[in-house]
Structure 1
Amino acid sequence: MPYPGRRGGRSGPFQFPRSETPALGERRRQRVRNMRYQSTTDHQERSHRDGSPDICTTMRHLLHLFVAHLEPFDTAEAIVKALKPNLRPNEFCEQLHSIYKETKTRVKQALGSAHEMVLTVDLWSYRTEETYLTVACHFVDRLGYHKSHTLETTRCVDDPTAVNIVQQLLSIADIWGIKEKIHTLITAHMPNMKEALANTSWTYMPCFAHTLNLAIKEAMKGESAQVLLKKCRKVVRFFKSGTEAEKKLRELQSQLRFHQKELVQPADDGWLSSLTMLEQLDDQYQAMPIVLTQRSKNDMCLNEQELKELKNVVLALKTFRDATSMMKSKGFETISIVIPLLNKLMGKLRKQEGMLSSRLLAQCKTHFGDPNTNKLSLTAALDPRFKDDILTDVKSTNEMLIKDQQANARSRQTSSSDLSFEESLTMYLNHDSIPEGGDPLAWWRITGSKKFKDLSKIAVRKRGVVSTAIPLERAFEKDEMFRNRRKWLARGNLDMILFLNSNWLEV
């Protein structure tokens, strides 16, 4: 008998109201829930068989981790294969290349919206046998934020002379479509670069970190400093290599209630490594002569003059370390920091005693000249953190602004008269400064653009120029691991891995 309520039954098309058939409604809802559950289960099973989104996401996270730490390509592939045994041939490579293409498209879009750029070049040796260039660009985007992107890492096609490198850079800039947007080039280890750029519209600027490191290296070549360093290394090596000697030193320090710290052997000849060693030695030396004498190592004991010189060397090098700590940016710091940093650094060196301080001051003058007349003083004057220390003469600064605008006619963005510049400068000079820890680019983006419109265009352009050719975390010998790791990346993946290391921000 047909069910009453179904079409064709004795009751015709009549159907019971939902409220009158709770059992039937519940059965239908349960069937729908079961179908949905089965569909989800089947989808999950198919996903895990065919390469699940979870595995793909995990692979993407792992790739990001390997790229960030510059892990070898074969190591990364082996770990992914262990997580996904049925990994298709080339699937790992395809995933990485897909991410590379996505990231490259995003970077190209960002470059397309920029008006003016700065190019930096890191010249480095690949396994001591080949010279490579890592090229990056820097600019202030349309929202007023500073951006940095590694563009390419490539082998020098010819001898790494300044002329050959410029030709290679022009080719790279042309490929990326930014050659006409570049106004400044920053490099290290290339003394003839200024002459090589004579036929281009690019301005050359040496890497500040490299120049500063060079000044310290030259100053420490003095005979007295070298003799002292050699003897200090010998003392530290004696205690670090002799277990009994170090044990005796710790016992003696404990008896005398001296503070104990780990002695440090310098990892290289860099000044930061040497400073760390000398600081620890100076801090713990009081107990050392007793142990050295007991072991008939009297020749290692520092005399009164050497102890005094040790303290002077530590003080001088700490001055450089403290000064460079002003460059707190992770990545790249702009050149507006250079003149304030030099003023602070050279001012402290003048007050110090010791041969090294005198040599360091002389080297700073040789490499940088008088900070007050340095051409970078204009950039520092347009930084609201330092303007009160730099911008004291409106007329001379106005003349520098006009001269700078004439020298960079391509970037002239204002039709105002010269008088408006002087009026803006006067207002800017009388305006409150911002704290040293403030963001000058944000200040020009928000406050400066409203109150000093003409000046803000110049200031933002200047703020786009960075001070170093490499990120600050590597500029002062702080990231030796990065330099070592990139040398052991496979040639075929070198460009892609270093590109993603800089630009892949999203997982």
Structure 2
Amino acid sequence: MSSKRKHSPLWTHFTEDIDNKKAKCNHCSTIISIAGGSNGNLTRHMKTKHLLIPLTAERQTPILPSLNSLKSSQSTCESENIISASSNIDSQQSMTQYIRRPPPVRKIEQIDKQLVKMVAKGHHALRIVEETEFRKLIELVSQCPGYKLPSRKTLSENLMSRIHNDVMAEAKIKVQAAPALSLSTDGWTSRNNDSYIAIVAHFINEETKLHSVLLGCINYKERHTNQNLCDFMKVVMAEWNISHKVAAIVSDNAANILSAVRLGDWRSISCFAHSLNLVVQEATKKICDVLGRVKNIVEFFNRSTQGKHKLAATQQQMNLPVLKLKQDVQTRWNSTFDMLKRIVQVKDAVIATVALLRPDLTLNEGDWEVIEEVLPLLSPFYEITVEISAEKNSVRFWIKNQRACEMVVQALRNKIGQVQLVQGDTPEAVPTSSDASTSIPSNKNSCIWDEYDQEIQKITRPDNQLAAGIRELDKYLNEEYLNRKEDPLQWWHERRLIYPHVYAYVSKRFCVVATSVPCERVFSATGQVLNERRTLLSSNKVSKLIFLHSNNFISPKRANERAKDLPFTDSSWELTN
């Protein structure tokens, strides 16, 4: 391809194909033919499909010496000498590239003043100065004095779409490289009464670490029937080309999603944390009267300004830590335990304050006994829920019944015996130090020792896949138990060459997570995006923002390569590790 085509401003919106005959739009991923050697098809596509996006990058302009400032009486030769001299000076390295000069005190005060104004007038959180991405932005801008902020239209229509496509392409590479994966899914309704469905993929990467990728948090406008949900998940799987890799789908216990998973002939795993929460809610119905009275006390202190300050003052007088009461929320796991634990911690202050301000809310001795006896019962549920809600935790089984354990081991023998290793996965035997010390020089022409070596190899590394898999599993079962706090994936990564058959099976099963909490985290982030100030955001932009928030894959190296394709780029704009 000619250099003229590559330097055209149109190529900030397109990516050249390998065969130099097609180009891919960075905004809508449309493939356009450029075999004729003209950019007419690219221009026509931008004017018809992306009319709002400017064709030329007018925002960043290079800072060059103005030739108009030179006197017209100067000769052409003198002008060339001046330009040549200035270019040589610019190419020379300066001390500022190695030692950064501290800014003047007056300039620092001016910037600090503007920062306070931005936080105050823009209703930004004070912690914005501690956010990593904001600090990176300030660092990059300080290295590029000629930078100009993009317009709102450029940011939403051009930059965000471009970065979204880059991150999605990189995420697809990671997902499609996984041997198997599990999906967690859940639904959520925004403050705008829009329905969103999130699907998160979990897989074991090449470093034997559990990795998660948000496939999409998509605005779903159809009815949430089992058939519609099944078709929706099939479309997402087909888009990411993972239909043949799904080991299981983790969801809550809603009837429609469970039916959709069965309809799609996928393995369904109920969210363990959700199931535990249902158990706690059902059990606490027996003490609903006590819980109701505790909720009334918490609600009073949360709504009454006088009660709030009086409770804090009482805690200080009693030399107790100043703590706020927590309210029980039915949809929030462990909130019942948190409410009861907190009110017990400030029991004396609550009794004194309630007796003074609201005697009708006083709890009797029987109520306090019930609360203090229930806490040890709810504590194990709290600890387990917190433990399994970690996104890096996969499903673990503890089988206490001996007969059931034997059945599981036999099933594993059959499964692992069917594992087919890819060529090169089976490692060569590594001689130990004892073998090296007692080794005898072999004679390559000796048929006796060749036959001996072949027989030993048949015993130690049988050709039969079933026999090799069973032998590996039996050896693995004799390993010592792993400590609960140790990482099983790290253990398998260190022994992946010792148990290649079992490791191949583990990489397809340890990707199953225990809960659908990853989707809940996605919805928490979506709620932050769709706050009161941004309720007019379209669902498409919300999905892109959440996708970029959850998937931060684009590497600095790739970003630098991408920046080199833009016009007027400068080496000082490059990202650093």
Q: Tell me if both proteins adopt one fold, taking TM over 0.5 as the criterion.
A: yes
Aligned partner of 2:31 in structure 1 is: none
| 1:140 matches 2:204 | yes
Residue number among 472, 480, 483 corresponding to 1:424 in the alignment: 472
Q: Shift in Å at residue 159 of structure 1?
A: 1.3
List gaps (5 residues or longer) in structure 2.
1-82, 94-123, 135-146, 423-462, 557-577
- Asked whether the equivalents of residues 311 and 353 of structure 2 are also in contact (C-alpha less than 8 Å), the reply is yes
Residue number among 529, 534, 538 corresponding to 1:490 in the alignment: 538
Against the structure 1 CA distance between its residues 474 and 316, is the aligned structure 2 distance closer, same or farther, given a 3 Å change threshold?
Answer: farther
Against the structure 1 CA distance between its residues 402 and 160, is the aligned structure 2 distance closer, same or farther, given a 3 Å change threshold?
Answer: farther
Aligned partner of 1:293 in structure 2 is: 355
CA RMSD of aligned residues (A): 4.0
Residue number among 488, 498, 505 corresponding to 1:440 in the alignment: 488
- Give distance in 2, aligned partners of 1:91 and 1:253: 51
Superposition pairs of residues 82-161 of structure 1, within 5 angstroms = 84=148, 87=151, 89-91=153-155, 93-127=157-191, 129-161=193-225
Superposition pairs of residues 347-426 of structure 1, within 5 angstroms = 372=400, 395-402=406-413, 416=464, 420-426=468-474
| 1:264 matches 2:316 | no
- Asked whether the equivalents of residues 200 and 214 of structure 2 are also in contact (C-alpha less than 8 Å), the reply is yes
- Give distance in 2, aligned partners of 1:88 and 1:261: 45
SS, match of residue 401 in structure 1:
helix
Residue number among 390, 393, 415 corresponding to 1:333 in the alignment: 393
Residues 388-414 of structure 1: CA distance to partner in whole angstroms, max 9, x if unpaired? xxx9987433223146569xx7x7659
Aligned partner of 2:89 in structure 1 is: 37
Against the structure 1 CA distance between its residues 416 and 197, is the aligned structure 2 distance closer, same or farther, given a 3 Å change threshold?
Answer: farther
Aligned partner of 1:237 in structure 2 is: 299
- Give distance in 2, aligned partners of 1:276 and 1:198: 36
The letter of the residue matching 2:546 is: L
- Give distance in 2, aligned partners of 1:69 and 1:192: 40
The letter of the residue matching 2:538 is: A
The letter of the residue matching 1:459 is: V
Superposition pairs of residues 288-327 of structure 1, within 5 angstroms = 288-295=350-357, 297-327=358-388
Against the structure 1 CA distance between its residues 237 and 433, is the aligned structure 2 distance closer, same or farther, given a 3 Å change threshold?
Answer: same
- Give distance in 2, aligned partners of 1:394 and 1:292: 55
The letter of the residue matching 1:333 is: N
Q: Shift in Å at residue 34 of structure 1?
A: 5.8
Superposition pairs of residues 197-216 of structure 1, within 5 angstroms = 197-198=261-262, 200-216=264-280
Aligned partner of 2:518 in structure 1 is: 471
Against the structure 1 CA distance between its residues 287 and 472, is the aligned structure 2 distance closer, same or farther, given a 3 Å change threshold?
Answer: same
The letter of the residue matching 2:161 is: H
- Asked whether the equivalents of residues 416 and 469 of structure 2 are also in contact (C-alpha less than 8 Å), the reply is no
Against the structure 1 CA distance between its residues 199 and 304, is the aligned structure 2 distance closer, same or farther, given a 3 Å change threshold?
Answer: closer
The letter of the residue matching 2:190 is: Y
SS, match of residue 450 in structure 1:
coil
SS, match of residue 517 in structure 2:
coil
- Give distance in 2, aligned partners of 1:156 and 1:141: 30
Aligned partner of 1:350 in structure 2 is: none
Against the structure 1 CA distance between its residues 412 and 125, is the aligned structure 2 distance closer, same or farther, given a 3 Å change threshold?
Answer: farther
Against the structure 1 CA distance between its residues 472 and 327, is the aligned structure 2 distance closer, same or farther, given a 3 Å change threshold?
Answer: farther
SS, match of residue 334 in structure 2:
helix
SS, match of residue 158 in structure 1:
coil
- Give distance in 1, aligned partners of 2:254 and 2:173: 31
- Asked whether the equivalents of residues 123 and 189 of structure 1 are also in contact (C-alpha less than 8 Å), the reply is no
The letter of the residue matching 2:218 is: T
The letter of the residue matching 2:381 is: F
Aligned partner of 1:377 in structure 2 is: none
Against the structure 1 CA distance between its residues 188 and 483, is the aligned structure 2 distance closer, same or farther, given a 3 Å change threshold?
Answer: farther
Q: Shift in Å at residue 334 of structure 1?
A: 1.0
- Asked whether the equivalents of residues 138 and 465 of structure 1 are also in contact (C-alpha less than 8 Å), the reply is yes
Alignment size in residue pairs: 383
- Give distance in 2, aligned partners of 1:171 and 1:472: 18
Residue number among 439, 452, 466 corresponding to 2:499 in the alignment: 452
SS, match of residue 388 in structure 2:
coil
- Give distance in 1, aligned partners of 2:354 and 2:406: 64
Q: Shift in Å at residue 248 of structure 1?
A: 4.8
Q: Shift in Å at residue 320 of structure 1?
A: 1.6
List gaps (5 residues or longer) in structure 1.
1-30, 42-61, 72-82, 341-370, 374-390
- Give distance in 2, aligned partners of 1:86 and 1:469: 38
SS, match of residue 216 in structure 2:
strand
Q: Shift in Å at residue 430 of structure 1?
A: 2.5
- The TM-score normalised by the length of structure 2 is 0.57
- Give distance in 2, aligned partners of 1:244 and 1:200: 57
Normalized per residue, which structure has more helix? 1
- The TM-score normalised by the length of structure 1 is 0.64
